[in-house]
Structure 1
Amino acid sequence: MDLKERIKRVAIYLRKSRDNEGEESDETLAKHRNRLLDIAKKNNWEYEIFQEVESSMDSNRPEYQKMIHQLKESLFDAVLSVNLARVTRDDAETPRFMRLLREEDILFVTDSERIFDLEIQEDWQALKFTGFVNNWEYENIRAQLRKRKIDSAKMGRWSNGSPPFGYIYNRLERKVEIDKEKAEGVKLAFQMVIDGIGVDNIAIHLNRGKLFQGHSIQRMIRSEIYKGWIISNRLKGRNTYEGKIRPKEQWIIVKDAVKPCIIDESTWNLANEKLDQRKQLSPRAKQRRHGLSNIIKCALCGRTHSVTIRKDRKNRKEIKPCNKKNLLGERCHNKGINYNTMMELIIDSIRTKRK
């Protein structure tokens, strides 16, 4: 039987690469889509399209995983894609994908209408060699991109994605420039840290249209870009958050890369020293621990109530009011309670439980 006659239903897989930003456009993806659809329609194949913008080295792509699941359910006779590199270039995932096609007796069809039957040894070897070449090409491209990124950093150009708050990206110069209005917020945040104000309170103060949180203020203070430095090659690989940090000696650090900068170096250093000092300090409730320290939670917002000693009331211990502010600065209205009263309530509850 002719291989084309075996095919009734195909899985069309389309992927726009996000490895080489700017090198592939939506127009490229549309051309690939039209080309594959023409092949399916010409051969009267039923089809389902799986399309995404992801790296070919990431096996956790949602559309790819959806297609793999349906291939295992024997819902398709073939996979139709521009080439194997569009499906996967990972040297671990490629053999898994090929093995699945062979086990499920699924054909692989390229945009040149070349049909690979992986039960045939010659086709298996040809596609396997193609996978090897694709991976080699990918690693070569990656190495070149890394070199270009390092060279750009040394020239003071920005290549680390979206610029941080307070800067805008000049595409013509490939450099970051100060956003004067937002830069005032950055300067204020640094000054408030120097004045000893906590990052959560700074976030509330700055929440005017854009919702900051304490950790975003902390990242702002830690970012060297605000004193004019650009640091590249800091991260190795990519995960959900930030990737694995390389040893510091491997970082590419370019000082005075951004001119003018929002914060001078002495201000940046002072703010970071203050942040380090606050990190080392314990809350007063931890400095003076009591039986209920860090145990009583606010039923309205979940914040831990701290314990205080009221010197104006003969050193009486109290569970302090909550007063936690949300992102808009609105205070929680949960009131405190006498420490001994709370302790009695807890002991009574324990007695009841024991009975």
Structure 2
Amino acid sequence: MKDKMIKHVAVYLRKSRDDGEFEDVLSKHRDTLLALVSNKNWTYKLYEEVASGEKIESRKEMQRLLGHVEEQLYDGVVVMDIDRLGRGENKDWTLIKDTFLNSDTLIITPNKVYDLDVDNDDVSFDFMSIFARMEYKTIKRRMKQGKEAGAKKGIWTNGKPPFPYYYDKNTRAVLVDEAKRPIYRTIVEKYLNGNNLGEIAIWLTDNRIRTPYNIKPNGIDKGWSNVTVQRLLLSEIHLGYITYGKTRTKRGQVEFVPEEEQIKAIGVHEKLKSQEEHDAIKERLVKNRLMNPNGRRNLFPLSGLLYCEKCGCKMQFRVAYSKSKGQYWNTLCYHRYKDGSKCKQKGKALDEEFFNTLYDRVIQLDSNIIRDIEMHNNGFADTKAIIEIKEAELHKESRAFVKLHESYEEDIITKQVFLERKAVRTRQIQQLEKELEDLRKLVVDESS
């Protein structure tokens, strides 16, 4: 009788991040449930997500599904098992049960159809919710024990590794993304050579290097921040260590764990900086924290030495940017006369021609000035390095685009998922192609 009443259903799929489930779990469950729906000749709408089952507040698709169930859009919801709906706290199970009960919506699994208006089904649902919660706690405990044991052996167990590493699912090892390796090394070298966190963040953002964090849900990159750069510079993972248990959740609040209670071991992954570099980075960061902000600003070597030819006042300096020159220093006169009029002195770009002329007029040039000149005139080399990085990214995106088509042709993903992922990949490829076109033009301008 229940089957005859069912015409239109929702199909809900969830692969847990916390239970160590493999990538093909979602695909297998999808095939099973869609075969069931097809055999019954039901129409359906698909909801699927990769999320922990502990809290509904962190599961966007589940929230959307419950809203639609409450609106009585479906005769039933098809799931692999009751625990796919949740494994969380009692209040979450109460919300799920009340939503299905009040909307007179059935819960359908491959083995049974649950009608919560029926006493036996209602009791069965309550028992299964308790077992699901117990099972989830057991799994979490075992997962924690496994992560601790892995960390002691130097194995990465903390989810997604930091930039520029990635997790290889085939070898289950943390490897270095070769396209990102030179970016990380440039960050370290720039900081050790005197660039501050803000300058490095601007350089990365201006060159459209994707950030490892701070990505908006719509896929728009917000750009690099000082904090992101500092995290990468201070990370001991790049020094070759694995640290597990830096934080813990207690009564819903996240707290930091004392260092002596954390697990720290030499990792099996490749290290990307030396102990000497790490110590130098820490020393400079500590020094910058102790100094007054005004005292650690980068002063241009010629500050206080250049005077305006028209009014005789000291010239001021600022950093400017153009596509042809890249980032460069510019000197300007901001003096105003008593009548309020501004000095008519034009700004001067402190380019190679300027410094060559200055060098000819000065007998002894301070070695620090030479170093700063070289640092501010290395844009051409930076541009060529970025082109290589972008070409590697484009090659990677193109391969992913091909694999996406293959997954759709082999029925690994649905048409809806294919179209969504295709749109994202297409935008990324077009963006990279545009960036490469602009960078190549810039190289031509700089070399001409």
Q: TM-score by structure 2 length?
A: 0.58
- Deviations along 1:117-143, one digit per CA (max 9) or x if unpaired, are 212333222101101111111111111
Distance in 2 between residues matched to 1:69 and 1:54, nearest whole Å: 18
Q: Which residue of 1 aligns with 2:347?
A: none
| Aligned residues of 1:106 and 1:117 also touching (Cα < 8 A) | yes
Change (3 A) 1:325 1:272: farther
Query: 2:148–2:263: 8 Å Cα contact kept in structure 1?
Result: no
Q: Which runs of 5+ in 2 are unaligned?
A: 212-223, 298-302, 342-448
Aligned-partner SS, 1:275? helix
Report the CA distance between 1:56 and its aligned residue: 1.7
In structure 1, what residue type is equivalent to 2:8? R
Q: Cα deviation per residue 1:107-163 (whole Å; 9 max; x = unaligned)?
A: 211111x12221233322210110111111111111111111111110011222343
CA distance in 1, matches of 2:119, 2:181: 63
Shift of 1:195: 4.3
- 1:205/1:69 CA distance change after superposition, 3 Å: closer
- The more displaced of 189-198 and 142-151 is 189-198
* 8 Å contact kept, 1:193–1:274: no
SS at match of 2:237: helix
Query: Are 1:56 and 2:68 matched, yes or no?
Result: no
The residue aligned with 1:233 is 245
| 1:56-113 Cα distance to aligned partner (Å, 9 max, x none) | 224242322221121111111211111111121112322211111111111211111x
Give secondary structure in 1 for the equivalent of 2:263: strand
- Work out whether 1:24 is the aligned partner of 2:22: yes
Q: Hey, what's the Cα distance between the residues in 1 that align with 2:176 and 2:237? A: 11
Q: Secondary structure at the match of 1:101?
A: helix
Aligned to 1:40: 37
AA aligned opposite 2:240 = G
1:157 paired residue among 155, 158, 164: 155
Counterparts in 2 of 1:102-251, with a 5 A limit? Answer: 102-112=101-111, 114-167=112-165, 174-176=172-174, 186-187=184-185, 189-203=187-201, 210=209, 213-215=224-226, 216-236=228-248, 244-249=254-259, 251=261
Contact 2:306 2:315 in 1 (8 A): no
Deviation per residue, 1:208-246 (Å, 9 max, x gap):
784563533211111011222211122336xxxxx9353
Alpha-carbon distance in structure 2 between the residues aligned to 1:30 and 1:180: 30
The runs of 5 or more residues in structure 1 that have no matched partner are 238-242, 288-307, 345-355
Instruction: Measure, in 2, the Cα distance between the counterparts of 1:259 and 1:66.
Output: 40
Mean CA deviation greater in 199-208 or 145-154: 199-208
Q: Does structure 2 retain, via aligned residues, the 8 Å contact 1:80–1:108?
A: yes
Against the structure 1 CA distance between its residues 280 and 318, is the aligned structure 2 distance closer, same or farther, given a 3 Å change threshold? farther
- Residues 138 and 171 of structure 1: is their aligned pair in 2 closer, same or farther, counting only changes over 3 Å? same
- Percent identity reads 26
Measured in 2, the distance between the counterparts of 1:336 and 1:133 equals 76
CA offset at residue 4 of structure 1?
2.7
User: 2:106 aligned with 1:94, yes or no?
Assistant: no
Counterpart-to-counterpart distance in 2, 1:104 and 1:188: 58
Q: Give the number of the structure with larger relative contact order, counting CA–CA contacts within 8 Å between residues 6 or more apart.
A: 1
Equivalence for 1:7: 6
SS, match of residue 226 in structure 1: coil
Q: 2:243·2:264 contact (CA, 8 Å) conserved in 1?
A: yes
Task: Return the match for 2:285 from 267, 275, 285.
Answer: 275
* One-letter amino acid of the counterpart of residue 119, structure 1: D
CA distance in 1, matches of 2:316, 2:291: 21
Distance change >3 Å, CA 36–CA 250, structure 1 → 2: farther
